Structure 1
Amino acid sequence: AVLVPLCLVRGAPALLYTLRSSRLAGRHKGDVSFPGGKCDPADQDVIHTALRETQEELGLEVPEEQVWGVLKPVYDKGKAIIIPVLASVGPLDPQNLRPNPQEVDEVFVLPLTHLLQAQNQGYTHFCQGGHFQYTLPVFLHGPHRVWGLTAVITEFTLQLLAPGAYQPRLFFPQLAGG
């Protein structure tokens, strides 16, 4: 589960992202992501997983009543299921967060106005063996490029929060879980 933290930065709505630690094992080290991780046996559900992981990674306590809901799941290449949990974390100064250096190299925000501007949106086409496989959204011109499943989750979030203002140009149901 991952938490999609909707926050207010200097009065403007924004999404909070992390840059995963370059010291982590696995292929996602150094990637832009939302805070999150695997379910622990003690977690009641995916919401508790997302909230616990956010607290562990960022030191940010998000009360359960600030959770707006669960978005549709996305699947990685290994068929793992990632469940995005959307929550309002209220006014936030990212500089006041104390990320766990074992898991997070950096924390940054992108205002919704930035994400909704067409010049900051793009698509990456993936090929394998010389054949087109799939296309994913990408969000550009921030401190880091938002791509991969984090961009897919960002796209779902924008569709929900700004349905008239955000219109994805392409849709690939095999990546969206059906």
Structure 2
Amino acid sequence: MLRDCLSAEGERRCRRLLAGATARLRARPAAAAVLVPLCSVRGVPALLYTLRSSRLAGRHKGDVSFPGGKCDPADRDVVHTALRETCEEVGLVVPEEHVWGVLRPVHDQQKTTVVPVLAGVGPLDLQSLRPNPDEVDEVFALPLAHLLQEQNQGYTHFCHGGHFRYTLPVFLHGPHRIWGLTAVITEFTLQLLAPGVYQPCLASPELPRG
């Protein structure tokens, strides 16, 4: 079943589900965008992640992330931002026609809007990538099968002032813990790629529908 998500039929299904949201979100300005690279590593469907450089400024240094960053005034839209940043960060050139669509935006604690862009990047040899050492310490892929196993899933409950606020997913037992907005975007992606298989975090928003 997981291999089906890389098939032409699986791609058409995802593009169809995301078409409405993609059209709307490409027409709106946003603060930042990330690329969610769906790839194949030795024939196994996987998602590609980066480990942000520990030398970066800010609270997210050393965190797992999808490649991406702030929208530049010269960018045409969020898709252009995600593709440009991916090339700059990991040296991966993704043609725009490989973009399947735009997932639901997420918002950080500062209310910054981050738009996830899903693309099929095909078979990847991770050793061939050339990450920018100023921004990325490591590039790694996690198989969808790993992410979908319950023993590799967890949840973090966030409280403020002694009161429960919200719950976010966490993905464990890979080379690095996936948490925060990256885990939420991973959850959106799994809901799209493996409907009926992945059971989302109860406090997480639903996948956008066209």
TM-score range, shorter chain: over 0.9
Tell me by how many angstroms 1:169 deviates.
Answer: 4.0
Per the alignment, residue 83 of structure 1 pairs with 115
Structure-2 separation of matches of 1:145 and 1:87: 23
Per the alignment, residue 72 of structure 1 pairs with 104
Query: TM-score by structure 1 length?
Result: 0.95
Per the alignment, residue 170 of structure 2 pairs with 138
Unaligned runs of 5+ in 2: 1-32
Kindly report the root-mean-square deviation, in angstroms, between the aligned alpha carbons of the 2 structures: 1.4
Unaligned runs of 5+ in 1: none
Higher helix share: 2
Deviates more, 1:59-68 or 1:89-98: 89-98
Per the alignment, residue 185 of structure 2 pairs with 153
Describe how 1:14-163 pairs up with structure 2 within 5 A: 14-163=46-195
Q: Which amino acid aligns with 2:158?
A: F
Query: TM-score by structure 2 length?
Result: 0.81
Per the alignment, residue 13 of structure 1 pairs with 45
Q: Is the 8 A contact 1:73 1:176 kept in 2?
A: no
Per the alignment, residue 36 of structure 2 pairs with 4
SS of alignment partner, residue 185 of structure 2: helix
SS of alignment partner, residue 171 of structure 1: coil
Structure-2 separation of matches of 1:121 and 1:90: 26
Q: Is the 8 A contact 1:6 1:15 kept in 2?
A: yes
Deviates more, 1:46-55 or 1:161-170: 161-170
Structure-2 separation of matches of 1:150 and 1:40: 21
Tell me by how many angstroms 1:171 deviates.
Answer: 2.5
Structure-2 separation of matches of 1:91 and 1:49: 23
Moved over 2 A (4+): none
Structure-1 separation of matches of 2:165 and 2:133: 35
Identity of aligned residues (%): 81
Tell me by how many angstroms 1:130 deviates.
Answer: 1.8
